[in-house]
Amino acid sequence: MESGGFGGLRRERAVETERLPIPRRVTIESLIERATFFELPARLVSGLPDVIQYRVRVEDLERIHEVLFDDQVATEPLRLLVVEVFEAEVAD
């Protein structure tokens, strides 16, 4: 989920990587690994006003982890992960 900023923007997207084309799936899974997503704290926010916040939840066979972060503290892999997820075609 993406929310916040000056205009109060809100977008949500759920993606099952198994249903994505292989290149997109590999990219998303690689970004999760590069971000060390499962080791991140549940909250990673700057506290600044008018920033875009993201809530990303990742589930695999063994783990579930959700992280709330904003665009001021997001690492490059986290930023790219959000872009990839929102650009992914969702299969019906």
pLDDT tens per residue across span 10-39: 778 888 999 999 999 999 999 999 999 999
Q: Give Cβ neighbours of residue 74 (< 8 Å, ≥ 6 apart).
A: 44, 54, 82
For residue 20, the enclosing domain spans 2-87
Q: Is residue 92 part of a domain?
A: no
Average pLDDT over residues 31-60: 94
pTM of the model: 0.84
Q: Residue 1's pLDDT is what?
A: 59
Determine the distance from the C-alpha atom of residue 56 to the mean position of all C-alpha atoms in its chain, rounded to a whole number: 4
Task: Report the mean per-residue pLDDT for the chain.
Answer: 88
Q: Residue 11's pLDDT is what?
A: 78
Total number of domains in the chain: 1
As a whole number of Å, the CA-based R_g of the chain is 13
Q: Edge to edge, what strands does the sheet with 52-59 contain?
A: 9-11, 2-4, 52-59, 64-70, 43-44
Q: Is residue 61 part of a domain?
A: yes
Q: Residue 28's pLDDT is what?
A: 96
Q: Is residue 66 part of a domain?
A: yes
